[in-house]
């Protein structure tokens, strides 16, 4: 078979090695970025609640010496995470109530979402799944048969979404085997992956991944998760191109985050940079009120004003849909 990924390239190290080398020690992060050491006690305390993890390729995109860098803010544990407030809940989007089978969420018509793994290559401090009980609800391993039975019986499903954690933190052998099994269910037509790995660990986009993506009978969609235009550098651009060459439709979702992308100029530049790489903006999520991350919240009114301003600056196809996930609703709610 002719591979669609003619332009493959060699990464200096395998993605597994790059992942294993990710920075996990707050002291090392501060030192490498020439940041003041007085940030350390808070970073260590917050990292005990949700560990620090930053791959080296992402680190290279952070401006050294700037504690307010928008990329740094997404990964640096802060004292605010430990502050006890009564705002923010453990499961803000109602995932636990929507579980149809362990690790399988069937909230919306025609689409089922699998929480495939808890693992991620990066730990985003604002993550709304930081409290999800991954270990007890793995749909691809101990609950594989139950997952398949559910998918087989629910013939109204036409799209299977792999999410997480990050589904691309699973090895290609496992993913390809799972996808092959799902291909035998004729009602499934679309395979979608929600992933941040091509952006935070571009080494992940290698020949093995592109091969099974090119080979599947499913129409494939990857929803990337990029919050700031500076997250896209040359290597990430090449990873995105390789995914496009594998026949994947590429979309992006962002979360509106205080101190990261809470300005019209940044959001506009993000949309334009995405499109320069052939990626369309899909969703801009209102931040979910999750415990320990409330300092990222941007009030709805402020978000609405920014999106209204975006609409006057950009073509409609570059304005993401500003949405919120409200437990019990039949779709993401436009705000």
Ligand X SMILES: *Cc1c(COP(=O)(O)O)cnc(C)c1O
162 binds ligand X (CB under 6 A): no
| 70 counts as binding ligand SF4 under rule CB under 6 A | no
Count of positions on this chain that bind ligand X (CB under 6 A):
8
50 binds, among ligand SF4, ligand X, none (CB under 5 to 8 A by kind): none
* Binding flag, residue 107, ligand SF4 (CB under 6 A): no
Q: Is 124 in the site for ligand SF4 (CB under 6 A)?
A: yes
- The answer to whether residues 46 and 39 touch, using CB atoms and an 8 Å cutoff, is no
Sheet order of strands, 280-285 included: 99-101, 104-108, 111-115, 159-163, 190-195, 219-225, 249-255, 280-285, 321-324, 333-334
Beta strands in the chain (DSSP E): 99-101, 104-108, 111-115, 159-163, 190-195, 219-225, 249-255, 280-285, 321-324, 333-334
Instruction: Select from 94-102, 162-170, 286-294, 306-314 the region that touches ligand SF4 (CB under 6 A).
Output: 162-170
Out of 32, 56, 111, 152, which residue is the one contacting ligand X (CB under 6 A)? Answer: 111
Site mask for ligand X (CB under 6 A), range 312-331, x = bound: -------------------x
Q: Which is nearer to ligand SF4, 127 or 319 (CB)?
A: 127
192 lies in the site for ligand SF4, by CB under 6 A: no
Cβ at position 192, least distance to ligand X in Å:
8
Does 332 bind ligand X (CB under 6 A)? Our answer is: yes
Our finding on whether 198 is near ligand SF4 (CB under 6 A) is: no
* Spatial distance between the Cα atoms of 212 and 51, rounded to a whole number of angstroms: 32
Look at residue 185 and give its three-state secondary structure: coil
33, 44, 94, 328 from 224: Cα distances, Å: 26, 29, 23, 25
State yes or no: residue 332 binds ligand SF4 (CB under 6 A). no
Angle of helix 172-183 versus helix 207-215 axis, rounded to 10: 0
Contacts of 155 (CB under 8 A, 6+ apart): 187
The helix or strand, by DSSP H or E, that contains position 30, with its residue range, turns out to be: helix 26-32
Give the x/- contact pattern for ligand X in 200-239, rule: CB under 6 A.
----------------------------------------
Site residues (CB under 6 A) for ligand SF4, limited to 222-261: 225
Stretch that binds ligand X, among 19-27, 108-116, 212-220, 232-240 (CB under 6 A): 108-116
According to the binding rule CB under 6 A, does residue 292 interact with ligand SF4?
Answer: no
Among 19, 127, 151, 191, binds ligand SF4 (CB under 6 A): 127
* Residues near ligand SF4 (CB under 6 A): 120, 122-124, 127, 129, 164-166, 196, 225
Which residues of this protein are in contact with ligand X, per CB under 6 A? 105, 107-108, 111, 113, 161, 331-332
């Amino acid at each position: 078979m002719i591979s669609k990924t003619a332009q493959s390239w060699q990464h200096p190290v395998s993605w597994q090695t790059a992942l294993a080398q990710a920075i996990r020690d707050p002291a090392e992060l501060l030192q490498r970025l020439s940041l003041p050491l007085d940030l350390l006690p808070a970073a260590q305390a917050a990292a005990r609640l949700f560990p620090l993890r930053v791959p080296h390729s992402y680190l290279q995109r952070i401006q050294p010496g700037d504690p307010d860098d928008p990329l740094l803010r997404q990964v640096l544990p802060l004292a605010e995470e430990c502050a006890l407030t009564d705002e923010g809940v453990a499961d803000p989007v109602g995932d636990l109530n929507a579980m149809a089978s362990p690790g399988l969420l069937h909230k919306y018509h025609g689409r089922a979402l699998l929480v495939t793994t808890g693992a991620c290559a990066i730990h985003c401090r604002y993550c709304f799944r930081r409290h999800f009980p991954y270990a007890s609800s793995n749909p691809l391993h101990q609950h594989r048969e139950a997952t398949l039975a559910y998918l087989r019986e629910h013939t109204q499903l036409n799209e299977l979404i792999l999410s997480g954690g990050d589904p691309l933190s699973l090895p290609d052998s496992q993913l390809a085997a799972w996808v092959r099994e799902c291909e035998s269910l004729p009602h499934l037509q679309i395979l979608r992956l929600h992933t941040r790995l091509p952006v935070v660990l571009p080494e992940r986009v290698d020949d093995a991944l592109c091969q099974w993506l090119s080979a599947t009978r499913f129409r494939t969609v990857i929803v990337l998760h990029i919050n700031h235009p500076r997250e896209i550098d040359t290597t990430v651009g090449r990873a995105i191109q390789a995914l496009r060459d594998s026949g994947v439709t590429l979309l992006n979702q962002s979360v509106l985050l205080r101190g990261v992308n809470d300005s019209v100029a940044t959001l506009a530049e993000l949309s334009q940079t995405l499109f320069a790489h052939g990626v369309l903006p899909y969703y801009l999520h209102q931040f979910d009120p999750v415990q320990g991350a409330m300092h990222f919240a941007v009030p709805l009114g402020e978000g609405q004003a920014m999106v209204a301003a975006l609409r006057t600056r950009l073509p409609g196809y570059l304005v993401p849909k500003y949405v919120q996930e409200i437990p019990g609703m039949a779709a993401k709610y436009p705000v």
